[in-house]
Structure 1
Amino acid sequence: MTAKLAAHSHPIRVYYEDTDLAGIVYYANYLKFIERARSEWVRARGVDQAALKAGRGIVFAVRRLEADYLKPAKFDDALQVTTELLALGGARIELRQEVWRGEERLFTAAVTLVCLHEGGQAARIPAEVRGALAPMRH
């Protein structure tokens, strides 16, 4: 397990297509927002997921997600999605992701990712990927 690391932040703008009939962000779209932010978190650490798949036949998949919807986001809101590494195991990554509008926390999720071979079997996270995901301790 690793020590807590600095959170990564990714901007998101709420578009009309993200909202429901009530004019607020449709609940499932928060999952899309945090998925984009997770991809950017991995990319910011120098991990090329397409190359991992092509070269090693491994991918990351969501194993578990627990979400809390705290306040609604609305059309044209400028949001920030933070991604924070909580733990890094042999084949598992645990994250906390939050969606913020300024100083207001709107959404929070505990996300567990697993490393898998393309056929679905568990795979160890390669050492160089582990090192890239956990370099900045504070």
Structure 2
Amino acid sequence: MTHRFQCRVYYEDTDLAGIVYYANYLKFIERARSEWVRGIGVDQNRLKADHGVVFAVRRVEAEYLSPARFDDLVEVETEVAEVTPARLVLDQRVMRGETVLFTARVTIVALGETGRPTRLPAEFRQLPATP
């Protein structure tokens, strides 16, 4: 299952050359992950309040392929690549039309109230990974 999230490139997202500043791709994919979590029915505020569980990015492997520019409409695609009891790996792509601009493999972990790793909530452990 591929989740899609659209966002517009604003002036604040660009550098002096008028292209998206490299770190802002991480913001785009973060927004897409937040919407994906909401879309699968998980309320992160409730998860924290009821169970003391929050998510943290443990690792990001990123590739910058082609620049996005001011006023571009881009789409972030998110797919589950791997699920273990303690880790969720997502593949994310930032696209402009059919052109892949940026790819990332993001490893997410759950942290408990003490800040130590804990098991992922059941909603995540049951997610199917894409082949």
TM-score by length of 1: 0.90
2: CA distance, partners of 1:13 / 1:55? 34
The aligned counterpart of 2:45 is 50
Q: Distance in 1 between matches of 2:129 and 2:39?
A: 12
The aligned counterpart of 2:89 is: 94
Query: RMSD over aligned Cα, in angstroms?
Result: 1.6
Aligned AA for 1:72? P
Question: Aligned residue pairs: how many?
Answer: 131
What runs of 5+ residues in structure 1 fail to find an aligned partner? 1-5
The separation in 1 between residues aligned to 2:84 and 2:77, in whole angstroms, is 21
CA displacement, residues 11-46 of structure 1 (integer Å, 9 cap, x when unaligned): 010000100000000000000000000001111000
Where in structure 2 are there 5+ consecutive unaligned residues?
Answer: none
Give 1:137 deviation, angstroms: 7.4
On the 8 A contact 1:47/1:129 being kept in 2, the answer is no
Q: Equivalents in 1 of 2:129, 2:104: separation in Å?
A: 22
Matched, 1:124 2:119: yes
Structure 2 CA distance, aligned partners of 1:38 and 1:13?
16
Match of 1:3 in 2: none
Quote the Cα distance in structure 2 between the aligned partners of 1:80 and 1:41. Answer: 13
Q: Percent identity?
A: 63
Q: Tell me if structure 2 keeps the 8 A contact 1:7–1:84.
A: yes
